[in-house]
Amino acid sequence: MLLFFPPLVTLNPQPPTLNPKKLLDIVHPAAKSLVDIARSQDSEVGDGTTTVVILAGEFLRECKPFVEDGVHPMNIIKSFREAARLAIDKVKSLAVSIEGKDAAEKADLLKKCAMTTLSSKLVGGEKEFFADMCVNAVMSLDQDLLDPRMIGVKKVMGGAMRDSFLVDGVAFKKTFSYAG
């Protein structure tokens, strides 16, 4: 991506790191929505901003003929919700149960799922490392409850991705102070 703001030229291979609303005065409502979608994705996940903008753009492009034909926007929204429900039902029908499987088989299936979700540009190179960490975290939970709120992620600035580790228990961030 190449942005030109006299007298400044910015070359950035990863546009999600830019905040377009701070650089540009965005007026078009759809463009504002796309920026908001990208910002939400970035704050929640930290990756996938380009993907959500492309998907949203495609959804808008596909529904444009219906708007031009006079279909009420609420009917279009209702259709999108129905399509989402059908997609969720399809994913549920494809789901593989891990009930009754031994611990090694469960761990292997969970690792495959984790590696699939870790295929982003941020952690894709270390997806096996993080997949093992995710599986170990999930397997350490009470298997009857499986409360994901019991897994916390603490972000610490600096260091490499491989410096990440799983704490089996409770972790506190301690800052040191010296008297004197």
> Do 89 and 56 reside in the same domain of the chain?
yes
Residue 117: its pLDDT value, please? 85
**CA distances for 153 relative to 31, 36, 138, 149, 173, angstroms:** 32, 25, 13, 10, 12
- Domain's final residue, options 45, 70, 94: 94
Count of domains observed in the chain = 2
Each residue of 92-147: pLDDT tens digit?
999 988 888 888 999 999 999 999 888 877 788 899 999 999 999 998 888 788 88
Which domain range does residue 116 map to? Answer: 103-163
In a domain? residue 176 = no
pLDDT level of residue 153 (50, 70, 90 thresholds):
confident
Each residue of 20-33: pLDDT tens digit?
545 667 888 888 88
Look up the pTM and report it. 0.59
> Do 111 and 85 reside in the same domain of the chain?
no
Residue 11: its pLDDT value, please? 43
Q: Please compute, for residue 19, the number of CA atoms within 13 A of its CA located in the half-sphere on the CB side.
A: 4
In a domain? residue 111 = yes
How far is residue 25's CA from residue 134's CA, in Å, rounded to a whole number? 41
> Do 6 and 54 reside in the same domain of the chain?
yes
> Do 52 and 131 reside in the same domain of the chain?
no
- Domain's final residue, options 94, 114, 130: 94
pLDDT level of residue 180 (50, 70, 90 thresholds):
low
Each residue of 58-92: pLDDT tens digit?
999 999 999 999 999 999 999 999 999 999 999 99
Residue 76: its pLDDT value, please? 95
> Do 25 and 48 reside in the same domain of the chain?
yes
> Do 135 and 87 reside in the same domain of the chain?
no
